[in-house]
Amino acid sequence: MAERIEIGRYVLHAELASGGMATVFLGRLRGQVGFSRTVAIKRSHPGFAKDPEFVSMFLDEARIAARIRHPNVVPVLDVEARDGELFLVMDYVHGESLARLWRLGDGAPIDPAIAGRIAADMLYGLHAAHQAKDERGEPLHVVHRDVSPQNVLVGIDGIARVADFGIAKAVNRIQTTHEGQLKGKLAYMAPEQLEERPVDARTDVYASAVVLWELLTGRRLHTSAEAGATITRILTGKIPPPSRVAPAIPPELDALVLRGMAKDPDQRFASAQDMAVALERTLRLALPADVADWVSTRAHASLEERARLVAELETSDSEQGSRESGAARAHELARAAMASAADSEALTEPLRKSDPRASAQPVEPGSKSNVNVTRSLTPPRSGARRSVVISLAALALVSVAVGVALFARARREPVATAQPDRAPAVSVAGPVPSSAPAAQSALPEPVPSASAAAPRADKPAAKRPAPTTPAPTVAPTGKPTFGSLSRE
């Protein structure tokens, strides 16, 4: 694992590949709510970001690749610029470059069905680039100009993808090639590219045919270390057919490959798609599953190590994301608690202002009562404010409940009270006349006092007077009332 380098929402980890101007790292995209994704990040070498031409080329690659949407093209996701460095974020392809897969085979020819399938995928991806359009729907006329085994990735899903549009040519491109300056790999350049003539999609067809020739034969087409000899061979167009180098190759492929490498662009396939279709019609190509098995077998060791690295990276990133998510959750809870405390403060403020102890006369400093009053007027701590509010609310509810109960009891049990304008009581020896209201007979008989219950010995016992009842008064509603309560 390399040192963690955080660039915005991206984290760079292990190095995957390195070139003359940039290095590709394995990285992670870390989004919100726990979202993360493994990506490949191309990081420019220090110092290149100060070169305006390099910066424009870097940005061109991002802009052009972002306009190409096809399964056989590695998509570009984002661009970052930090501290004098440029970072190009791409989709991570779990696989190997075609150049490395070729080297792992020790120079042995690749099965024509598998080689044809890889070449067809490459051609379909290039055709998608050639047909790319800008935001207004105008063709960009993209030409890759650097088609080679190093810029083709073959995943364990059996699909080949074209990558690295760094020196691609397109309309309205910011960066342009200066006169007399060649960009790309010399061994895969078309004659018009060497002669600085206009290039188009057929230039990429030529380079694709060279790649296919090398896959079928297991050899490099131009082996001379001298650039002059290689350029002469390309310009003369003297290229042997693949079957002459590898007899196992079907002869019908010779014409197809040589047509793709014709010196005159008009003699080549008109488009990359036309060459891919011709391949599919000429040869029974392998299925993606067959290519996936071939990749997994040939690059087993490196892919296993890469898978272990990716798993370790994802696990570490997931654990760190969980910790950060937990910290964020704790922060949210703390903010909620602070907001709740503020609400409690607002509720208890009127209660403190209405506390009778707050308006008490000041006492001598240092006295016990002064301390008690000071403590009672001190705002409670934030942790106890909620309890104070709840206690006061409960007390208010109990008071209301008691008041309601007393009022209901008073309505069920009316009490007779004396009225100042009531007629004096009259003792009656006999029974109550029948003409008295029924309400009178319903009144309880008064209980004699203790002194009345024990008559004096020197006086004869008098007859017990009949109970007296107050005279009923008629309320405005027409119902008889006793005292201040009406009896219904």
Reduced to 3 states (helix: H, G, I; strand: E, B; else coil), residue 17 is strand
Distance from C-alpha of 369 to C-alpha of 346, rounded to nearest angstrom:
27
Distance from C-alpha of 10 to C-alpha of 31, rounded to nearest angstrom:
9
Q: What is the DSSP string of 138-173?
A: -B---B----SGGGEEEETTS-EEE---TT-B-TT-
Distance from C-alpha of 74 to C-alpha of 85, rounded to nearest angstrom:
22
Pairing of strands 76-82, 36-44: unpaired
Q: Record the tokens describing residue 450, joined without a space.
A: 């203790």
What distance lies between CA 325 and its chain's CA centroid? Answer: 11
Distance from C-alpha of 260 to C-alpha of 120, rounded to nearest angstrom:
13
Active-site residue list: 146
> Is residue 433 a contact partner of residue 417, using CB atoms and an 8 Å limit?
no
Buried b (16+ CB within 10 A) or exposed e, 5-22: bebeebbbbeebeeeeeb
